[in-house]
Amino acid sequence: MTKQRQAKIIGTGSYLPDKILTNQDLEKMVETTDEWIVTRTGMKERRIARDDEYTSDMGLKAAQIALADAGISADQIDFILVATLTPDYVFPSTACLIQNALGAKKASGADIQAACTGYLYLLSMAKSFIESGQYQNILVIAAEKLSAITDYKDRSTCILFGDGAAASVISSEGEGLVIENIELGADGEQANLIFLPAGGSRQPACQETVASGGHYIKMAGNEVFKHAVRRMESACKNCLDAVSLTEKDISWLIPHQANMRIIDAIAKRFEHLPLDRIFKTVQKYGNTSASSVGIALDELLRSQSLEKGERILLTAFGAGLTWGAGVLKK
């Protein structure tokens, strides 16, 4: 009898730019204070890419670390999937740029766009490809240069976002975290709650769209908050139910690092999970969109020793609207 293939994360990596944007820096840019930012978001710092440092550059560095962690070479990768809402170009794909830079000549490549839920969408796709037998090794990368689409005159959004990248190698071979289940969702009816108005075919770039700030993130913060908490809680519960688990089976929760108040609201819904088992990076990196869960996972694995059988619950929410949750088992 043929053994069923299991998709596993066998290597992780992350990259954060060197430049740190502090709350004190933001006080000099917009009408805000460190106390106001910390109280409402929990954020103290965020990383900002150099002007000549792009999404593909950050994704490449995270990918190189993940490949080294997995102990495989670029020419062993069959497929490269990139999640980003800040690609270097509309086309070619960021995946193709990274494929070339890595020298992964055997790999095909494609980008997907699910905003802050991007890393979970990548895991779901990679799991399906690996367990169907179509591919042996998949490199998933979530990378964002949100500073390129952030209006640093808008105090409601400029305090939130940072730049960074995460990568994972998914394979059916080797040791790692088994991707037990992924649950995804979307609601396009609420698309206008977080969006970038200009730059697509509906509003191509022109003098008017630039003058009106159409190429910057627009967000209805209060409404987003309500949806984020409800959707992530539901995704987590559905994800656990699908594999006959409860929150008592979870050792760590890694939520999307969007806002400390959102994370705290999610934490209250998991009464059996101690607060020190909810992994947080939002205070030092801000919201890095698609890469936030992947960055946090990489940091968790490098800072904590997991025992065999322990499980990690991931969850995220983003523009689209999109949301999801996933269970990983050591």
Residue 294, classed as helix, strand or coil, is: helix
Q: How far is CA 313 from CA 126, 153, 226, in A?
A: 17, 36, 21
Vertex 114 angle, CA 173 and 224, to 5°: 130
Single out the catalytic residue among 23, 137, 259, 287: 287
Spell out a b/e string for 267-302, using b for 16 or more CB atoms within 10 Å of the CB, else e. Answer: beebeebeeebbbbbbebbbbbbbbbbbbbbbbbbe
Classify 88 in phi/psi space as left (phi over 0), alpha (psi -120 to 50) or beta. Answer: alpha
Q: Which of 116, 158, 236, 239 is catalytic?
A: 116
Q: How far apart are CA 272 and CA 247, in angstroms?
A: 7
d(CA 30, CA 68): 41
CB-based burial label for 196 (10 Å; 0-12, 13-18, 19+): middle
Strand-pairing partners, residue 108, are: 79
Do residues 70 and 174 lie in contact, with contact meaning Cβ atoms separated by under 8 Å?
yes
Cβ atoms of 66 and 13 within 8 Å: the answer is yes
Q: Which one from 23, 239, 256, 259 is the annotated catalytic residue? A: 256
227 noted as active-site residue? no
The DSSP 8-state label assigned to residue 95 in this structure reads H
Element (H, E) at 321: none
> What pairs with residue 81 in β-bridges?
110, 140
Q: Is the peptide bond before 321 cis (omega within 30 degrees of 0)?
A: yes
- The verdict on whether 272 is a catalytic residue reads no
Token pair for 26: 């933001």
Active site residue 238: no
Distances (CA, A) of 302 to 154, 290, 324: 36, 20, 24
Give the separation between CA 67 and CA 262, rounded to whole angstroms.
Answer: 33
Phi, psi dihedral angles at 10 (to 5 degrees): -105, 0
Residue 240 per-residue DSSP state: H
Which residues have a catalytic role annotated? 116, 256, 287
